[in-house]
Chains A and B, each alone.
Chain A
Amino acid sequence: MAKQVPVVDYLKLGDPPHLTAHACTSCGALYFDRRNACARCFGRTFTTRVLSNTGTLRTFTVMYRTKKPFVSAIVDLDGGGVVKANLLGVDDPEEITPRMPVELDTFIAGVDDEGTEAVAFGYRPRKVEK
């Protein structure tokens, strides 16, 4: 199997793949990127927090004038964290509904000259048992 790396360091390619965030130890604010201090409470220490793989869709758009149209979505993760990613497996905006349940999935976004695959994440609609 080809060597794989995540496209961003907050995606962890474990089993299952999942997201982590830098959590402010004072107020709990979550950040995907490295921060010098907390933008909310100015605290200066952070810990790593594992985020949920499920959530609900807050909003979306479908982007055209690109090589291939894609759905960009903002997802509220269960238990905290708001993330931007592609919505996978849906291309008709009419099928996208407010607070639609979604779950994380991964896909290969590119391969470099050494054959290493870059793995990205997105979200698929999730069936919720009634």
Chain B
Amino acid sequence: MSSGDVWIIGIAMTPFGRFPDKDLIDLAAEATLDALADADLTMADVNVLALGNVYEANSHNGQRLQKQIGQTGIPVYNVVNACATGATAVRTVMMAILAGEADIGLAVGVEKMGKMGMLGAAAKTREEKKVFEPKGRYGSVMKTEGVLGTGLMPGVFAQAGMEYAFKHGVTITHFAKVAQKNHAHSVLNPLAQYRKEFTLEEILSAEMISYPNTLLMCCPTGDGAAAAVLCSDARLRRLDPDVRRRAIKISASVMTSDPWSDSGQALSDVNTLTRMAADAAYEKAGIGPEDLDLVELHDCFATAELLHYDNLRLCEPGGAGDFIDSGAPWRDGKLPVNVSGGLLSKGHPLGATGIANIYEVVTHLRGEAGQRQIEGARVGLTHVIGLASACAVHILEAPVRR
């Protein structure tokens, strides 16, 4: 322990899925109360709250949550940062603790998406004009989705995948193997939205959504929440030994946005900012990819996971295809990736995702992951990326057990 450390002392997530009988705040309250119970604390102990949510971000959900579980007058930050929203809430609380403004804080991520179809499709509809008139910064006279290529999420990540395929010779089968692995992993996770194993043939022959990603290679939309209780080092020393014993250290927490590139306006570059975040996190934590026992990375599409093997330095440069072929990222492999089932099968309620992946890693580092436990796990990495663009990488460590 050292004075600058921040610890996770309580964490919880709801099951991911579709819950028409629960509203956004029901889900947030469920995860939050479970996380507080996990830390053996109440709202009276919390000095700061950050709530992350994307689709209802203008509703001041942090304050709405307080009204259901405890109004204590503490500062509340409502944050939104695409698919990195949950991780942004964690970082907001962490920074408040590091700034000395709080010693215990609560980060919550929640989303209620239901069955909303392809992401980006709903947000971009514009009423058909009767008379063409140039509008906006591109002087466009009509909606250009499908006319000038695609900007929808499945299309962006498919194009990013094909760029890697063209450069490094990976095939649609390599991408499909990622989905095969994550669906298989999810069978062991009772909180996953789907828990069904598929053969490679079933994945490849499923409905094509955006070449090369078939339906089983795209994450579902859904509902869910996750919450984490963070604590300063000084405060941790005064907590109950049973809480201290299960505390997990945040060894690195890094956020990046995309730097300028010549192709960024045509296709979001999901690689560079991930590499920047990973490299900075390894440096901060003083550990390398070879020290990791498990990784939860942002597999919004099967193509994305393959790219991130390379971006997070889990494989040789250009070697993501060989990495999946070798079986390394399977739960019994050299470096298990997405043993939760990943976004592909565990689900991806946007605001919750960046805390749910921390939940997964913390649970393994505590040795409490039940039948999906990675034995002896001591160091883990989480990664999220949202367009366009925010990336967060966290490295988490269990203290050496005495």
Q: Do A and B come from one complex?
A: yes
CB nearest to B157 among chain A residues: A61
A9 to B133, CA, bound (A): 11
A29 touches B147 (CB 8 A): no
A5 touches B163 (CB 8 A): no
Nearest Cβ on chain A to B310's Cβ, whole angstroms: 16
B126 CB–A CB distance under 8 Å: no
B142 touches A61 (CB 8 A): no
Nearest Cβ on chain A to B218's Cβ, whole angstroms: 10
B147 touches A7 (CB 8 A): yes
Q: Which of B132, B163, B210, B260 contacts A59 (CB 8 A)?
A: B163
* Residues A16-71 near B (CB distance < 8 A): 29-34, 39-40, 58-67, 70
B162 CB–A CB distance under 8 Å: yes
A102 CB–B CB distance under 8 Å: no
**CB-CB contacts of A74-87 with B at 8 A, as 1s and 0s?**
11100011111110
**CB-CB contacts of B152-174 with A at 8 A, as 1s and 0s?**
10110011101100110000000
Q: Which residues of A contact B158 (CB under 8 A)?
A: 61
A72 touches B138 (CB 8 A): no
Q: Tally the A-B contacts, defined by beta carbons under 8 Å.
A: 137
Q: Which of B141, B210, B212, B260 contacts A63 (CB 8 A)?
A: B210
Q: Which residues of A contact B256 (CB under 8 A)?
A: none
Q: Which residues of A contact B132 (CB under 8 A)?
A: 5, 110, 112, 116, 118
B267 touches A64 (CB 8 A): no
A7 to B146, CA, bound (A): 12
With A59-B160, A113-B130 as contacts: A32 and B118 at CB distance below 8 Å = no
Q: Which residues of B contact A34 (CB under 8 A)?
A: 137
Q: Which of A31, A66, A86, A112 contacts B148 (CB 8 A)?
A: A86
A82 touches B148 (CB 8 A): no
B211 CB–A CB distance under 8 Å: yes
Q: Which residues of A contact B139 (CB under 8 A)?
A: 6, 8-10
A66 touches B266 (CB 8 A): no
B159 touches A98 (CB 8 A): no
B134 CB–A CB distance under 8 Å: yes
A34 to B167, CA, bound (A): 32
**CB-CB contacts of A105-130 with B at 8 A, as 1s and 0s?**
00001101110101011100000000
B159 touches A61 (CB 8 A): yes
B262 CB–A CB distance under 8 Å: yes
Most chain B CB within 10 A, of A10, A32, A114, is at: A32
With A61-B162, A61-B211 as contacts: A7 and B265 at CB distance below 8 Å = no
Nearest Cβ on chain A to B168's Cβ, whole angstroms: 11
B267 touches A8 (CB 8 A): no
* Given pairs A61-B158, A80-B262, A112-B132, 20 additional interface contacts (CB within 8 A): A8-B148, A10-B139, A33-B265, A58-B163, A58-B267, A59-B163, A61-B210, A63-B150, A70-B150, A72-B149, A72-B150, A74-B267, A76-B263, A82-B263, A82-B265, A84-B148, A84-B267, A86-B148, A93-B212, A99-B166
By a beta-carbon cutoff of 8 Å, the part of chain B in contact with chain A is: 118, 129-132, 134, 136-142, 144, 146-152, 154-155, 158-160, 162-163, 166-167, 207-212, 260, 262-263, 265-267
Q: Considering the complex of A and B, which 9 residue pairs feature the smallest CB-CB distances, nearest first?
A: A9-B139, A61-B158, A72-B149, A59-B163, A98-B166, A33-B137, A84-B149, A82-B263, A62-B211
